[in-house]
Amino acid sequence: MKKSVFKILNIVTFCFVTLTFINCGSEEPDIIMESTDSVVIESLKSGIMNGNLDEDFTLDSNQTYNLSGSFIVESGATLTIPAGTTIMALNGGTSVYIAVLKGAKINVLGTEASPVFMTSASENPGDWGGLTICGDATTTSGINAEAEVGGFIYGGTNDADNSGAINYLIIKGTGAQINADSQYNGISLYGVGAGTSISNVAVINGSDDGVEFFGGTVSVTNLFLENNEDDAVDWTEGWSGTLTNAYITHTVSGFSTVFEGDKDNGNPKFNNITAVSTVGGTALQFKKQSGATITGLSLTGYDTSIDMKDGGDLANVLIEGAIADPSLAYTSTARVTAANFNWVNSSVSITTLPLQGTIAGKVTLNASIKYILNSSYIVKAGGELIIPAGTNIEAKSDGSAVYIAVLKGGKIDIQGTENNPVIMSSTNANPGDWGGLTVCGDATTTAGINAEAEVGGFIYGGSNDADNSGSIKYLVIKGTGAQINADSQYNGISLYAVGAGTTIENVSIVNGADDGLEFFGGTVSVTNVYLENNEDDSVDWTEGWNGTLTNTYISHTDAGFSTAFEGDKDNNNPKFINLTAISTVGGTGLQFKKTSGATITNIWLEGYEKNIDMKDGGDLANVIIDGVAASINADYKTGTKVDISTWTWRNTGL
């Protein structure tokens, strides 16, 4: 290791004049200091990073250093970077980078309050080369392999090798192009060993990968990756470490993947990974025989969840303890959020996210985000969708391709409140814009066990009348009823054999092109329902539904609707308590087909040309209103109107 030294020139006994003496008398000689610091050290003291560092050096804290070229930490040397230090890279492309060679160390000592920055002035992708670290751990490329960047030597037999420690580091604007096939990454880890500590790292705006592992055994904790244009995380050459807690976001189209694994499978582990895209794309890609074990995976907005690029065995990829399934969207409860990385101060604020795919686990939406329902969003058996109060879901106006469905065995938990209802609506809330909400349960229906729904071909029906499909509270849903075929349309809410264990209350369904609320068998009951201008039936039931509807208010101000109520097929005597239906455009109030019927108490019908219509000549005794058989001549203004003056939530928009 080189050091600065002081040289004291000898005083000759006779007065022989040299340029280094000022005085040759009897006084004490002057001592001159001659520095032997290298050019690199002198440059560092001047705030410039360039050249090869072959001795230990510590940068000054809270200072800015200009990286004007390549800065290489040679074997045996350690570079220490204190908290608050900024390294400003010139926009020099591949000639500007930091490399820590095999046998060297880097210690980045950032803190949450004072992270270390490595960035270019403009922070644009490709401005500079990023950080490369080479270690002595194993890699399938062998011992003393040559890196594709810089030709650096890496790889050995020491899996516990220590290349230093990195904590609270933010890197921006990396990924300079080396040649047609290669680019620098934000951080490249070549054969880096498990003795190296890497945690709390952010890589933003890289034109290639965010972090890439070339073999080695190093693990990383708390990783934030934003808009890296190739792969957010890439690994190859048998890397076998662990990545824990990562938040990955894509808001710029054209990137490659969230993950790309390549070549031999060292079975790296990934715990608690959240990736969010507003621009589609592919999430996890595995090339050749690569694989991984992943737990706590949450993917949002990607077109493809799993891509086995070269036809590799899906069994190489284990997700949540099971073999990877490309048909699943993978949305885990173990979501990492941008809020976990407040120290990053990201310039990208995710305010809208796409909603599509399938749910197999538990998924909780975020009320601070506006969700765009691009296509179908399906909760499979065993899955649960939780929608907090105040959440807005904007449905794309794309007809029957856009809907939310909860399949038999799945659950939905809508947690709206009076002041913050959950809203599901198309932009303009026009009838038929989208498909609405369908829930399938395991309760009884006259269609039998495992019947097939007319919408989506979903399976429903069983023998458990206490079945629980979740809870729906304070939901406003608009613009539904998309046409499926000549005979079928989606409804605002379709309830297929939903059981009595399900809670549904305070629901508003507005501007539906078909029915507002339809029951296909089941035993579920509903309280506080507001139905406005649904173009077919406001409430429709069939297949022996026998629940109770309490406090129903129906409004018709658009002509041409079908009915306020339509009951069909077998009569299991559903009950209606406190029913108000008012029309300003005439029409039919309550219609009963075949042998259907109901028991109704406290009824108010106003403005309909026909209050009671027994469509197929069914027995009026099947319909009991306020304790007596229905009459086609009765006025039915004898009850008390349902008071909706406090239902201020009922017509809330997006």
Whether residue 126 has pLDDT greater than 80: yes
Whether residue 311 has pLDDT greater than 60: yes
Whether residue 471 has pLDDT greater than 90: yes
Does 572 fall in a domain? yes
Query: Helix (H, G, I), strand (E, B), or coil: what is residue 645?
Result: coil
Whether residue 25 has pLDDT greater than 50: no
Does 342 fall in a domain? no
Task: Answer yes or no: do 361 and 258 share one domain.
Answer: no
Pairwise CA distance, residues 386 & 388, whole Å: 6
Task: Show the tokens assigned to 476.
Answer: 């406003």
Q: How many domains does the chain have?
A: 2
Does 348 fall in a domain? no
Task: Answer yes or no: do 398 and 493 share one domain.
Answer: yes
Pairwise CA distance, residues 393 & 652, whole Å: 13
Pairwise CA distance, residues 100 & 73, whole Å: 5
Pairwise CA distance, residues 174 & 200, whole Å: 18
For 580-600, the pLDDT digits (tens) are 999 999 999 999 999 999 999
Task: Please name every residue paired with 352 in a beta bridge, in sequence order, or none if there are none.
Answer: 370
Task: Answer yes or no: do 248 and 364 share one domain.
Answer: no
Task: Answer yes or no: do 545 and 425 share one domain.
Answer: yes
Task: Answer yes or no: do 482 and 617 share one domain.
Answer: yes
- pLDDT confidence band for 347 (50 / 70 / 90): low
Percent helix, strand, coil in the chain (nearest 5)?
5, 45, 55
Give the pTM: 0.71
Give the pLDDT confidence score for residue 180 in this predicted structure: 66
Note whether 585 and 557 are within 8 A (CB): yes
Across all residues in the chain, what is the average pLDDT? Answer: 91
- Look at 176-185, 484-493, 508-517 and tell me which has the smallest mean pLDDT: 176-185
The fraction of the chain above a pLDDT of 70, given in percent, is 93
Task: Answer yes or no: do 376 and 486 share one domain.
Answer: yes
pLDDT, mean of residues 37-52: 93
For 499-531, the pLDDT digits (tens) are 999 999 999 999 999 999 999 999 999 999 999
For 61-99, the pLDDT digits (tens) are 989 999 999 999 999 999 999 999 999 998 877 889 999
**Which of 226, 250, 267 is the last residue before a domain boundary?**
267
CA within 13 Å, CB half, 14: 1
- pLDDT confidence band for 172 (50 / 70 / 90): very high
Residue type, 198: I
For 557-567, the pLDDT digits (tens) are 999 999 999 99
Task: Answer yes or no: do 238 and 362 share one domain.
Answer: no
Between 280 and 178, name the one with better pLDDT: 280
Give the pLDDT confidence score for residue 12 in this predicted structure: 29
Task: Answer yes or no: do 149 and 250 share one domain.
Answer: yes
Pairwise CA distance, residues 417 & 327, whole Å: 34
Task: Answer yes or no: do 395 and 529 share one domain.
Answer: yes
Cα 603 to Cα 575, 627, 650: the distances in Å are 12, 11, 21
Pairwise CA distance, residues 124 & 91, whole Å: 9
CA within 13 Å, CB half, 492: 33
- Give the H or E element holding residue 50: strand 48-53
Note whether 75 and 95 are within 8 A (CB): no
Give the pLDDT confidence score for residue 1 in this predicted structure: 33
- Strand intervals (E) in 543-583: 548-556, 563-567, 575-583
Residue 596: domain span: 354-629
- Whichever domain contains 458, its CATH number is 2.160.20
pLDDT, mean of residues 485-499: 91
Does 634 fall in a domain? no
Task: Answer yes or no: do 243 and 358 share one domain.
Answer: no
The fraction of the chain above a pLDDT of 90, given in percent, is 78
Q: Is 288 buried (19+), middle (13-18) or exposed (0-12) by CB count in 10 A?
A: middle
Whether residue 21 has pLDDT greater than 70: no
Note whether 439 and 385 are within 8 A (CB): no
Pairwise CA distance, residues 574 & 596, whole Å: 10
Whether residue 2 has pLDDT greater than 60: no
Pairwise CA distance, residues 225 & 247, whole Å: 6
Between 375 and 31, name the one with better pLDDT: 375
CA within 13 Å, CB half, 180: 0
CA 412 to chain centre: 18
b/e code 313-348 from CB counts within 10 Å (16+ = b)? ebebbbbbeeebbeebbbbbebbbebebbebbebee
Does 422 fall in a domain? yes
96 phi and psi, to 5 degrees?
A: -120, 110
- The residue length of the chain stands at 654
Whether residue 24 has pLDDT greater than 60: no
Give the pLDDT confidence score for residue 279 in this predicted structure: 87
Pairwise CA distance, residues 515 & 477, whole Å: 12
Give the pLDDT confidence score for residue 222 in this predicted structure: 98
Whether residue 348 has pLDDT greater than 90: no
Cα 87 to Cα 200, 203, 296, 369: the distances in Å are 17, 14, 35, 34
Give the pLDDT confidence score for residue 332 in this predicted structure: 62
Note whether 141 and 194 are within 8 A (CB): no
Handedness of CA 426, 431, 433, 438 (dihedral sign): positive
Question: What's the count of helices (H) and strands (E) in the chain, helices before strands?
Answer: 1, 50
* DSSP string covering 473-519: EEEEEES---B-SSS-B--SEEEES--TT-EEEEEEEES-SS-SEEE
Give the pLDDT confidence score for residue 36 in this predicted structure: 54
- pLDDT confidence band for 330 (50 / 70 / 90): confident
**Which of 204, 233, 267 is the last residue before a domain boundary?**
267
Pairwise CA distance, residues 246 & 233, whole Å: 10
Pairwise CA distance, residues 345 & 350, whole Å: 13
Give the pLDDT confidence score for residue 31 in this predicted structure: 39
Task: Answer yes or no: do 482 and 369 share one domain.
Answer: yes
Does 322 fall in a domain? no
Query: Helix (H, G, I), strand (E, B), or coil: what is residue 44?
Result: helix
Task: Answer yes or no: do 496 and 621 share one domain.
Answer: yes
Q: Is 378 buried (19+), middle (13-18) or exposed (0-12) by CB count in 10 A?
A: buried
Does 369 fall in a domain? yes
Does 323 fall in a domain? no
For 531-547, the pLDDT digits (tens) are 999 999 999 999 999 99
